[in-house]
Amino acid sequence: MATMIPAVPMPPAGATGEAKVYAALAELPDGYRVYHSLPYYLLPSGREPLREGEIDFLILHPERGLLVLEVKGGRIGYEGRERRWTSTAHDGAVHEIRDPFRQAQQNVKNLVREIEALGVDGEAPLAFVHGHAVAFPDCDWRVEADPVGAPRELVADAGDLARGVERRVEELFALWARGRSGSGAGAGLTKRWVKKLGQQLLAPRFSLGLTLGTELAWEERALARLHEEQELALEFLELNGRAVVIGGAGTGKSVVACERARRLAQAGKRVLLLCFNLPLAHHLRELAGSWEGLEGRVTARAYHELGRDLCREAGLAWEEPDPDDREASELFWNETSGYLLLEAAGKLGTTFDALVVDEAQDFRTEWWGVLRELLPGRDAAPVALFADREQDLWSRGSVFPEGLPIFPLRTNSRNTAAIARFLAGIAAAGPPPGPTRLAPGAVPGEEPRVIRWRNGADEREKAAEVAKRLLVDEGLSLSRVAVVGMRRLENSSLAEKPELAGFPVEAIGDDGRARGAGALRYATPHRFKGLEADVVLLLGVDGSRWSVAPRNLYVAASRARHRLFLFAKAGVEVPGVAGGG
């Protein structure tokens, strides 16, 4: 029996014309491969448009070649003067049809041209026998004179089918092979090419899925929409010029903070946009610099960076103490820096009309008095503070200026639903967190993976496997991946050999990027706070007090927007994770 593609149940008696031909061709012996109702497309070439076609039956045989069979059911009529073909159905209805011989002829030419042009596995088959014919399953071919464009020799009628189609098919192949010689012109396809054409051109098998990059792109589109709650926060700030906005990781505090600063600048105000972290300040500065028509309206800095820059501009000494001198460092960074900032601002006459602070929980209480002096309007100037007490890694417990109304952001619109649930579990293991909700229609995402390791070498090896899958197999760009470690790079499992899957791993600079080109970013939770990455590899959860503190895990894990891989030592309980991970 022939191999029929697709394979369908045998049609009943009295079935349609194509069903009758299908049943007849199915009785061809082994070796024949028959494709039914095979569509194809011819891609545009030059000025030619995209064209499409469909082959009723395509017959392949390794020794005989390729034959296209066009089927026309019903009683067939032909008007030679008008070159008009018709088909009369069982109910007497007459339908005009296309010239079946021209259809078959064009189909075989198109198909063979594609086979020869495209080839399979980079090569085309040698010249092989190919031709076409027409089947009339509902009538016998009885005409006084064959039209020159419709010879009996290219017809398989009802009688041919009823007597057994094998002989007729062999005759058709022999007709197209006759007179062909030289360079294999009269050759068959060979078993190899019958198989190749089937597997790689005519009826290949494939299973489509999303690459990780495309999957993240779809998630990105869904997460990029400004959530309704964030719009409400902006409206609240319009009505309450001085206010505090609180919210957990992923609720959009930074989005609202930047939009508030932009709108204030659009209103003609000189805006001071502050944070504590230098890499975050660099990000805010780049963003503010992209706002068209607002050049010079927004000053985006880290708190100490602002003091340093103004002192340099004013010609004042900004002498940072030795980091190893803890007492001198605390005095300088907590108190002296503020006095220097005020002195430099007074000397330069630097003031601002409005203040916006992102990650305000990182600021010491005393600094609010310093910043107040930079606002000529004092307690009347617009102030918007954005904070998350759960991310107070320095345990500063900042007390914000009195009398500021509070707007709560409670809906996570940055992370996937899977990561948001993971974060909620970690937060619940620490001090009582504020309620966090998932956005309507939140992106489900992939559940964070907790990967166990035995020792530093094992952690490095397993992290390298994940990095290879992401960066090599899936082809993600380095900019979409970050390594967040619970210890500094020089104290981590990557210290002796800072690389993963052949990519160097480097600590981020003040701009939030790896210092070297082609390197993976590495940062501690303190350093990376306020920043984010599509995919985060969280290393160094080794059971030490610092590494398993819920607040530290919460900050580190919340940097991941789409995928999170948490590497924890075997036996270490991960707070908030079912079964400890």
State the Rg of the chain over Cα. Answer: 37
Domain that holds residue 288: 226-412
Query: 151 or 225: whose pLDDT is higher?
Result: 151
Q: Which residue has the tokens 């916006």?
A: 356
Provide long-range contacts, Cβ within 8 A and 24+ apart, for 48-54: 51/110, 53/106, 53/107, 53/110, 54/107
Q: Are residues 252 and 401 in the same domain?
A: yes
**Residue 110 and residue 463: Cα distance in Å, rounded?**
52
User: Which of 5-14, 291-300, 556-565 has the lowest average pLDDT?
Assistant: 5-14
Strand-pairing partners, residue 271, are: 298, 354
- pLDDT category at 15 given cuts 50, 70, 90 is low
Categorize the per-residue pLDDT at 194 as very low, low, confident or very high, splitting at 50, 70 and 90.
confident
DSSP annotation of 291 reads S
CA distances (Å), origin 290, targets 267, 279, 297: 17, 17, 12
Distance CA 76, CA 513 (A): 75
Domain count, the chain: 3
Model pTM greater than 0.95? no
Q: Provide the pLDDT for residue 100.
A: 94
Give the pLDDT of residue 184: 43
Query: How would residue 460 be classed by pLDDT, with cut points 50, 70 and 90?
Result: very high
Query: What pLDDT is attached to residue 579?
Result: 59
Instruction: Please check whether residue 440 lies inside any domain of the structure.
Output: no
Residue 208 lies in a domain: no
Percent of the chain, pLDDT > 90? 62
Q: How far apart are CA 556 and CA 144, in angstroms?
A: 88
Mean pLDDT of 531-539: 94
- Judged against a pLDDT cut of 80, whether residue 450 lies above it is answered with yes
* pLDDT at residue 218 in the model: 63
Residue 211 lies in a domain: no
In this structure, the answer to whether residues 194 and 230 fall within a common structural domain is no
* Cα–Cα distance measured from residue 11 to residue 437, given in angstroms and rounded to the nearest whole number: 57
Q: Is the pLDDT of residue 390 over 50?
A: yes
The backbone region for 540, taken as left when phi is positive above 0, alpha when psi lies in -120 to 50, beta otherwise, is left
Angle between helix 278-289 and helix 253-266 axes, rounded to 10 deg: 40
Q: Is residue 213 part of a domain?
A: no
pLDDT for the residue numbered 351:
92
In this prediction, residue 337 carries a pLDDT of 96
- Residue 14 within any structural domain of the chain: yes
Burial class (CB in 10 A: 0-12, 13-18, 19+), 72: buried
pLDDT of 556 > 50? The answer is yes
Instruction: Looking at the structure, tell me whether residues 337 and 242 fall in a common domain.
Output: yes
Q: What is the pLDDT of residue 60?
A: 93
Q: 247-270: per-residue pLDDT in tens?
A: 988 888 998 999 999 999 999 999
Are residues 352 and 306 part of one domain?
yes
Please tell me which residue, 197 or 47, carries the higher pLDDT value.
Answer: 197
Of the given ranges (84-93, 179-188, 473-482), which has the lowest mean pLDDT? 179-188
Last residue of a domain, one of 152, 187, 202: 202
Please check whether residues 151 and 234 belong to one and the same domain: no
At 523 the pLDDT is: 94
Q: Are 193 and 230 members of one domain?
A: no
Report how far residue 256's alpha carbon sits from residue 231's, in angstroms, rounded to the nearest whole number: 8
Q: Which residue has the higher pLDDT, 439 or 443?
A: 443
For residues 135 and 184, is the Cβ–Cβ distance under 8 A?
Answer: no
Measured CA to CA, the distance from residue 413 to residue 253 in angstroms comes to 10
Q: What is the CATH number of the domain that holds 566?
A: 3.40.50.300
Q: How would residue 45 be classed by pLDDT, with cut points 50, 70 and 90?
A: confident
Q: How many CA atoms lie within 13 A of 298 on its CB side?
A: 29
Q: Do 197 and 302 belong together in one domain?
A: no
- Asked, for residue 171, whether it belongs to a domain, the answer is yes
Predicted confidence at residue 393, as pLDDT, reads 84
Segment 125-137, tens digit of pLDDT: 667 889 999 999 9
Is 232 among the domain residues?
yes
Q: What residue type is assigned to position 557 of the chain? A: A
Q: What is the pLDDT of residue 226?
A: 47
* Pair 378, 459 in one domain: no
Same domain assignment for residues 255 and 404: yes
Dmax (CA) of the chain: 115
8-state DSSP, 153: G
Q: How many CB atoms lie within 10 A of CB 49?
A: 8
Instruction: Report the pLDDT averaged over residues 50-65.
Output: 91
Model confidence at 119, pLDDT cuts 50, 70, 90, reads low
Phi-psi region of 183 (alpha: psi -120 to 50; beta: other; left: phi over 0): left
**Where are the strands (E) in 434-519, listed by range?**
437-438, 449-453, 481-485, 499-500, 503-507
Among 312, 314, 316, 283, CA closest to 300:
283
336-363 confidence digits (pLDDT tens): 999 999 999 999 999 999 999 999 999 9
Query: Are 93 and 233 part of one and the same domain?
Result: no
Rounded Cα distance between 519 and 516, Å, is 6
Question: Does 214 fall in a domain?
Answer: no
The verdict on 392 and 474 lying in the same domain is no
Indicate if the pLDDT at residue 580 is higher than 90: no
Mean pLDDT, the chain, rounded, equals 88
Shared domain check, 272 and 407: yes
